[in-house]
Amino acid sequence: MRSESSGRSEHISPKYTVKGLFNGGFGRNFDAKSDALQRSPLERFIPMNHQELQFGPFSVSLLETCRFGLDGGAMFGVVPKTLWERAYASADERNRIPMAAKVLLVRAHGRTILVDTGNCPWMSPKLREIYDICFDDHSISGSLARAGVDAAQVTDVVLTHLHFDHVGGAMLETGEPRFPNAAYHVQKRQLDWARAATEKDRASFMPEMFEPLVGSGRMNIVDGDGELFPGMYLECVHGHTQSMQTVRLSDGQTTVFFPADLMPTSAHISVPYGMAYDNFPLTTIDEKKRLLPRIIDEQWIVVFEHDALRDAGRIVRTDRGVALGEEFVLCR
């Protein structure tokens, strides 16, 4: 990884590649979440308790920043509604399904690190209405306070990509960084892509949510895969958008994986369950097929950033493809 701005290059190790091809037969079938249909469409799911995962140097939990709703058809691409409603949740009268925007909180090596920042609290009322964005039960400031984290203590913010539901909480309405002492890490090719967005994903990029960060000098523009801090790996995938960086934390035994919009919910772990939002759907399929064998064999704990019903879980093979195994409640 190459760093364009000063600061963190001393931590950064050379590129490496994830090895291993998957040749298993992921069919179109997905082991449905048996209780997904029992939930009302936009039920506010409040976890009964939470766990803070601790392993190696890492302490990891999840923060809720809001609930929102996206068109269920767009979230599941070519998968028929009868199947995705069974795999995830029923749609509301406008065909929206319940979504969350969760932020990973990582404490390690004396640093306080956030991955993504959720939706934008100062978004226009019109857009909030379209996406049914609701801050009644959750907000980034409220969740940080509950976790005992002051904005000034945050040392690093990893932005997986610059879609508004990931970068929306990065800044205050005043144009100042929400985390005044943090370095914000973004991929160079994602920034380039966002600045010349295509007709397909132009609506997902709102320059007012990230350009002032670049101007402030707080954006650490990195280029390619690498180890940001010991045991914290940033690895790019390109099917959803150019150079979306996933985050993998590992102490050599336990691995927590934050795939962002490669697997936005637990219903997207199956290879064919891709989003219509993806710029390059076949690339998404290749990326899932490449990663799933390691995720399964090494028992990674996968965090689902947008899942309104589930926080994280391991993935297991079944005779029909893959399914969610052991689940973890990580939200505070």
**Which positions lie near Zn ion, rule CB under 5 A?**
163, 261
Residue 190 sits at φ, ψ, to 5 deg, of -70, -40
Min separation Cβ 205 and Zn ion, Å: 10
Min separation Cβ 34 and Zn ion, Å: 28
Output 176 or 208, the one with its CB closest to Zn ion.
208
Q: Is 6 helix (H, G, I), strand (E, B) or coil?
A: coil
How far the first Cα of the chain sits from its last, in Å, is 32
Return the residue matching tokens 């505070």: 332
Min separation Cβ 27 and Zn ion, Å: 26
Min separation Cβ 110 and Zn ion, Å: 31
> How far lies 173's CA from each of 208, 219, 308, in Å?
10, 18, 26
Q: Which residue is nearest to Zn ion (CB)?
A: 163
Min separation Cβ 294 and Zn ion, Å: 23
Output 33 or 163, the one with its CB closest to Zn ion.
163
Q: Is 298 helix (H, G, I), strand (E, B) or coil?
A: coil
Min separation Cβ 201 and Zn ion, Å: 8
Min separation Cβ 240 and Zn ion, Å: 6
Residue 5 DSSP code: S
- Cβ atoms 300, 255 nearer than 8 A: yes
CA dist 173 and 183 (Å) reads 19
CA dist 129 and 212 (Å) reads 25
Output 261 or 287, the one with its CB closest to Zn ion.
261
What's the residue count for the chain?
332
Output 149 or 194, the one with its CB closest to Zn ion.
194
Min separation Cβ 161 and Zn ion, Å: 6
CA dist 302 and 300 (Å) reads 6
CA dist 294 and 317 (Å) reads 12
Output 188 or 320, the one with its CB closest to Zn ion.
188
Structure token digits, residue 148: 């005992």
Output 64 or 261, the one with its CB closest to Zn ion.
261
CA dist 163 and 206 (Å) reads 8
Which strand (E) or helix (H) includes residue 167? helix 164-167
Output 24 or 207, the one with its CB closest to Zn ion.
207
- Cβ atoms 169, 184 nearer than 8 A: no
Output 263 or 323, the one with its CB closest to Zn ion.
263
Min separation Cβ 82 and Zn ion, Å: 25
Which strand (E) or helix (H) includes residue 186? strand 183-187
Strands 312-318 and 301-303: antiparallel
Output 108 or 244, the one with its CB closest to Zn ion.
244
